[in-house]
Amino acid sequence: MSHQRRLLMLVALVLILSLISLCLGQNWIDLRQVLTLPFTDPDSTTAVIVREIRLPRTLIAIVAGMSLGLSGAAMQGLLQNPLASPGLVGSASGAALGAVTALYFFSGAWHPQTVPLAGMLGALVTTALVYLMAGRDATVSTLILAGVAVNALAAAGLSLLLNLAPSPFAVRELVLWTLGDLSDRSLNDLWVMLPCSLAGWALLAGTGRSLDALTLGVRTANSMGINTYWISWRIFIAVSLCVGAAVATTGMIGFIGLVVPHLLRPLAQQQPGKLLPLSALGGAAMLLSADIGVRLIDLYTTLPVPLKVGVLTALVGAPFFLLLILKSRSNYLR
């Protein structure tokens, strides 16, 4: 099967999952109604539910999922390591810290988008911090070390806020936010996350060939005409932007950036460049599925509080990842 064919099939999968995501909720809405009512009867309750609740949720799942899948594939390609994840760049923790700070001090009372905007700001600040720490001529490992350091700093900040939270309810609210959730999002949240996501995708779009060359290691890639400093920075900033945007809007959704590239790598014939678009679509499909999953669980079980989507991806993702590693470790032992 050709690469184009595989891409088309993943696009179809994302479309089907999006439609299911639009139909599914407290009440199942017929597919025909979902597709026609917003145009024929835009003021009906059903149309409003589809437009104001389910559409943003679905679109945000697609954008965040694409960012996570794409970033995971780019990071793994850049580091030539199947265990790398987008979280390494530090902007995810920065985004979480920014958002939680806003939640702590303003409780989202100022403006409905205070929290995601603060998250975006946190992501940008951490990215700048990493840039300043690593310096212009940073190697990949310096970048990652700086990312890990900033990560630790942001985690410390988060702990501080939790520690100082005035009441158990506040703690609960803060912790729940970080778990990763797609419910109760509006189209305005989508507009907040979209610019940085698009910028990140655009920066990553042209890196496929360089990532392919990096299969042979940094120095050989350099001898093949790849500016490895520039490509490291480019990927680093791109991942910071789009993962920061995703986390600022949805909270921490783990394992998608780790599992999706790993799962789809055989479809890309192990080539990091080809993996990028596949992994973007795969990420969208996986986050949509997980979000459909939590809604189904919510419908058919009597959990006291709804399950967060980030919890589901971690619960499914972690053991699955372990299995993949066990299955393919012989390939990486050499």
Partner 1 sequence: MTASICLKATAVDIKKSDRYLVKNVSMDVYSGELIGLIGPNGAGKSTLLGALAGIDEPTAGSIELSDTPIRNIPLQERATRIGWLEQLGTVHWPVSVERLVMLGRIPHLPAWGKVSEADHTAVEHALTVADCLSIRHQIVTTLSGGERSRVLLARALAAEPMLLFADEPVSALDLGHQLQTMQLLRDFATGDRAAVVVLHDLSLAARYCDKLYLMNAGEIAAHGEIASVLSNSNLEKVYGVSVISGCEQVPWIVPLERL
- Which positions touch partner 1 (CB under 8 A)? 80-81, 206, 209, 212-217, 219-220, 222-227, 265, 269-272, 331-332, 334
Q: Which CB, 27 or 220, lies closer to partner 1?
A: 220
Closest approach, Cβ 268 to partner 1, in A, equals 10
C-beta of 330: minimal distance to partner 1 in Å? 9
251 Cβ contact partners less than 8 Å away, ≥ 6 residues apart: 96, 99, 177, 178, 179, 180, 181, 308, 310
Return the biggest CA–CA distance within the chain.
63
Q: Kindly tell me which of 32 and 327 has the beta carbon lying closer to partner 1.
A: 327
Phi, psi of 74 (to 5 degrees): -65, -45
User: How far apart are CB 269 and partner 1 at their closest, in Å?
Assistant: 6
- C-alpha 153/C-alpha 148 separation (Å) is 9
Instruction: Please list, in sequence order, all residues whose beta carbon lies within 8 angstroms of the beta carbon of residue 79, skipping any fewer than 6 positions away.
Output: 88, 140, 144
User: What are the structure tokens assigned to 295, written together?
Assistant: 């809604």
CB of 109 to partner 1, least distance (A): 48
CB of 280 to partner 1, least distance (A): 17
Minimum distance of partner 1 from residue 278's CB (angstroms): 14
Q: Decide if 125 contacts 153 (C-beta within 8 A).
A: no
Q: Report the residue number, 107 or 227, with the smaller CB distance to partner 1.
A: 227
One-letter identity of residue 101: T
User: Which one, 92 or 211, has the nearer CB to partner 1?
Assistant: 211
Tell me whether residue 79 or residue 253 sits nearer to partner 1 (CB atom): 79
| CB-side neighbour CA atoms (13 Å) of 216 | 13
> Residue 96, exposed/middle/buried by CB under 10 A (0-12, 13-18, 19+)?
buried
CB-wise, 36 or 223, nearer to partner 1?
223
